[in-house]
Structure 1
Amino acid sequence: MTTNTVLPEMDGLKTRLNTIWTAGDYDRFSRYMEGGAREFYERLQIAPGSRLLDVGCGSGQLALLAAKDGVEVTGVDIAANWVERAQARARAEGVNARFKVADAEALPFEAASFDVIVSLIGAMFAPRPDLVAKELLRVCTPGGTIGMANWTAEGFVGQMFKNVAKFIGPSGMPSPVLWGNEATVQERLGQGLSTLNLTRRQYLFSYPFPPAEVVEFFRLYYGPTNRAFASLDAEGQAHLRRDLEALWTAHNQAGADCTTVYGEYLEVIGIRA
């Protein structure tokens, strides 16, 4: 399988992706996902003093957890507004962490610069996955850990993306949820790792409001959903809203006044050869 597709007009594609991820308010959006981030982080068992790189760090959700544990943290993201927000959160919370704007396909670090590389639902969205895999392996020290959490195509979020991606997904770009497929991850990373553990897990989405309000919350604050709605006329928006409300309602495990949904992801934990 060839996983790196040559995409036309890469600069334009990068600009479009940046527009998607800078939209909304990811900091506000991610606060409801902190429990799942902590569970993923704790399973990595990162030793204090380790040098950690968080790729696709958003507003610092996972990076700040690590910094509070005495880990030497660097976070990178393509969205400058979320990097600024992560820096502000680090200052406000009194932790030592650095953040910078950078692309997962061309990380601005020397080889073997970090003991731990993590990406929580981040690097999976870069358009050239083979470059991402090469960079994750390059900047990790031999014997270091590479950890990823990637949505699966079969899970709830994969289904939600089917509704949204047709309005914003660039033509020819490999599906991000291929990073949630075990065979694909093995092909992309396996040769650079001495061990690779792949486990399907569930990420909890829990909101104190009903599914219809969750859809509106995503429309306001989650970049891909925000841009999908913005690309449609009133009739199209109403149709997309109905589809998303039906999906959230069908998967809701809570009562009518609140929402609890589990989204499947592939946990990737490998040791650099």
Structure 2
Amino acid sequence: MTDLHTIAIDDEDKALKAKHRAMWASGDYPALASDLIWPLGPRLVQAVDVRRGDRVLDVAAGTGNAAIPAALRGAIVTASDLTPELFGAGHRNAQEARATLEWVPADAEALPFDDDAFDVAMSCIGVMFAPHHERAAAELVRVTRPGGRIGVLSWTPTGFIGRMFAAMKPFNAPLPAGAQPAPLWGDEQHVRDLFGDRITDIRATRETVRVDRFATGEEFRAYFASHYGPTIAVCNRNADDAERTAALDSALTALGDAAISDHAMEWEYLIFTATVR
């Protein structure tokens, strides 16, 4: 296993994480999570079989769509995220659900928790955005006790959100050295390779969530350009170039139009669960 305590967190890495934090704090991710993907949290909690009394860590928890359902099952939940700006909405969501949990600012690649501290470590469309996949996977294993469970839900490369990132790629900055594309976490073999022989009892299934908010591709584009950090970042990067902005807008609109059928989209994701050896 990678010993992250021997990895130097240099100024370049700090700058990258600061950029990621600002990106996810931009727009209105809490509204997007509530509007579009809230059901994915309970689905992950079910898949990883959270039980009463389990010590659960939700990595890159956002506004709590997995952490809160886990707490409602009677688990002792810690919700962590690189972007604590999201915690205000998370607190409100927890209060409305009458759920009790702890919120801790944390980098998925260098978690501030002891070895074997949790019975379950999970992440719902969160850890996939940590730039260094091997570090993030190693941390999930490190903080989970032997015999404990890991569960990760991620967008697939070939599903709608994976295709959206592919559409934005020509307009985006190159990935930093050592970073990998987020949708790779939705590729079963990639995730198997990340965890290697440190896990057993692997289960991987592809499912979809139905999104019926957008009637047209233009509605989808406008919503993501105002709500979703990664899309906002790409739009801002091209804002001074009218031709590239128009091309980006056209690509996202066409993507949305092609995906809408009967006034809805189906967004594919991978659920990957396993037991730590």
TM-score above 0.5, yes or no: yes
Give the drift of 1:155: 1.5
Residue equivalent to 1:3: none
1:117-136 correspondence runs (5 A): 117-136=121-140
Give the drift of 1:208: 5.4
User: Of the candidates 130, 138, 145, which is equivalent to residue 149 of structure 2?
Assistant: 145
Give the drift of 1:266: 1.8
Decide whether the 8 Å contact of 2:59 with 2:122 is kept in 1.
Answer: yes
User: What whole-Å deviation, never above 9, does each CA across 1:153-204 have from its counterpart, x for those lacking one?
Assistant: 1221111001224425533321112212222211111311122112222232
Residue equivalent to 1:20: 23
Residue equivalent to 1:88: 92
| Counterpart Cα distance in 1 of 2:250 and 2:140 | 39
Deviates more, 1:208-217 or 1:157-166: 208-217
Residue equivalent to 2:3: none
Counterpart residue type for residue 171 of structure 1: P
User: Of the candidates 251, 264, 268, which is equivalent to residue 259 of structure 2?
Assistant: 251
Residue equivalent to 1:240: 248
Decide whether the 8 Å contact of 1:27 with 1:85 is kept in 2.
Answer: yes
SS in 2 for 1:104: coil
User: What whole-Å deviation, never above 9, does each CA across 1:213-253 have from its counterpart, x for those lacking one?
Assistant: 12111111111111111221343222211111111111112
Decide whether the 8 Å contact of 1:51 with 1:115 is kept in 2.
Answer: yes
Q: Does 1:170 align with 2:175?
A: yes
Residue equivalent to 2:162: 158
User: What whole-Å deviation, never above 9, does each CA across 1:12-71 have from its counterpart, x for those lacking one?
Assistant: 212221221111111100012112332332233211121111101011111111112222
| Counterpart Cα distance in 2 of 1:203 and 1:93 | 22
Q: Does 1:266 align with 2:274?
A: no
Structure 1 residue runs of 4+, over 6 Å off?
none
Give the drift of 1:150: 1.5
Counterpart residue type for residue 248 of structure 1: G
Deviates more, 1:179-188 or 1:104-113: 179-188
| Counterpart Cα distance in 2 of 1:90 and 1:263 | 26
Q: Does 1:202 align with 2:205?
A: no
Give the drift of 1:103: 0.3
Deviates more, 1:166-175 or 1:140-149: 166-175
| Counterpart Cα distance in 2 of 1:180 and 1:142 | 24
User: TM-score when scaled to structure 1?
Assistant: 0.90
SS in 2 for 1:107: coil
| Counterpart Cα distance in 2 of 1:182 and 1:170 | 22
Decide whether the 8 Å contact of 1:87 with 1:98 is kept in 2.
Answer: no
Shift of the 7–248 alpha-carbon distance from structure 1 to 2, 3 Å rule, reads farther
Q: Does 1:225 align with 2:225?
A: no
SS in 2 for 1:60: coil
Number of residues paired by the alignment? 265
1:51-130 correspondence runs (5 A): 51-130=55-134
RMSD (Å), alpha carbons: 2.1
Counterpart residue type for residue 67 of structure 1: A
User: TM-score when scaled to structure 2?
Assistant: 0.89
User: Of the candidates 180, 190, 198, which is equivalent to residue 184 of structure 1?
Assistant: 190
SS in 2 for 1:141: strand
Unaligned 5+ segments in structure 2 are 1-8
